[in-house]
Amino acid sequence: MKFLDLARVHIRSGSGGNGCASFRREKFVEYGGPDGGDGGRGGDVWVEAVDGLNTLIDFRYQQHFFAGNGRPGMGRQKTGVSGDDIVLRVPVGTEILEEDEETLIADMTELGQRVLLARGGNGGWGNLHFKTATNQAPRHANPGQEGVERTIWLRLKLIADAGLLGMPNAGKSTFLAATSNARPKIADYPFTTLHPNLGVVGIDGVEFVIADIPGLIEGAHEGRGIGDRFLGHVERCAVLLHLIDGTSEDVVADYRTIINELEAYGGHLADKPRITALNKIDALDEDERAEKIAALEAEIDRPVLAMSGVSREGIADVLRALKAEIDEDRLRHHAGGDEDETWRP
């Protein structure tokens, strides 16, 4: 299934049915009077967050969603049938935006959450409604109310507890594959990852979700490379794991590049708790490890972890550091968990 995190759709609620203007015509009944029924209500347009979806690909092939119109009223005080509602089913974490792509209508962060996007029009009153003591034979009825038509954007921001950041080929996908059952594409060229991947990792009897996004390069906020389009998928994370390629010529410059892109992206992304780890230490000797870790620690003024996604050295320490930054209510305790249990690939 292809990944799609942005979709433009057109919606329209149903129009209400017209009211009916009719009169009773019965044999041997001298005074019949009005008996026109009301029109039915138009259908509503709803959006609902459902389980089992992690992409908006369905909205690539269908962009128009119209609710049913109400049926007109009829004689003998018969009300018209109301139009059918229509429901847009989206993944948890989807934002509903106005056509300007900025004004937020709703943020679908909970499973089963439903939001009304367009209310159907009311049905028109039949002439029975207009009968009074001075107007006992009204000959007019109201038309149904028109439905609401609008264009909206759906933008998906994946729900994850921790997010991976780094330059292309920093080893993010390798780390995710080593710690979870996720199988992202791994290769020895830049931009191997073209869309976000999610993986569930376990450490010390608890589980949490990690999101891997495509690598960032200098100028990503201006559209270079894949750009900062996928940074929205780590906005909801409680902590960020910044992986730095230990084989890089200048690890401090790589660190600054990512931090500058986070700050240029805006919002609170740069202020989120962040764990920094030097990756690919299996390709370094002891002196190189110590030198690069010392340079990074001098730059960020806090400890830097060392790990390798290939040899799996230091992975448990990184996962424990991530777990410590995640709120307890976001962690999922798995059955039979052991406090001394390490990560479970």
Annotated binding site for GTP: 166-173, 191-195, 212-215, 279-282, 308-310
DSSP result, 1-32: -----EEEEEEEPPPPPPP---B---TT-S--
Distance from chain centroid for Cα 107: 8
DSSP string, 231-252: GGGGTT-SEEEEEEETTSS-HH
Q: Which residues pair with 95 in a beta bridge?
A: 107, 155
Q: Which residues are annotated as a binding site?
A: 166-173, 191-195, 212-215, 279-282, 308-310
Hey, what are 97's tokens?
A: 């935006």
Q: What is the DSSP string of 172-236?
A: HHHHHHHHSS------SSS----S-EEEEEEETTEEEEEEE-----TTGGGT-TTTTGGGGGGTT
Cα separation, 263 vs 267, whole angstroms: 8
Q: Annotated binding site for Mg(2+), which residues?
A: 173, 193
- Provide φ and ψ at 293, rounded to 5°: -65, -40
Supply 14's token pair. Answer: 């149903």
Sheet-wide strand order for 64-66 = 64-66, 6-12, 149-156, 94-97, 104-108
Distance, in Å, from the CA atom of 156 to the CA atom of 91, rounded to the nearest integer, reads: 7
Contact, 81 vs 40, CB < 8 A?
Answer: yes
The strands making up 86-91's β-sheet, listed across from edge to edge, are 86-91, 45-50, 114-118
DSSP letter at 113 equals -
Contact between 16 and 41 under an 8 Å Cβ cutoff? The reply is: yes
Could you tell me whether strands 6-12 and 149-156 are parallel, antiparallel, or unpaired per DSSP bridges? antiparallel
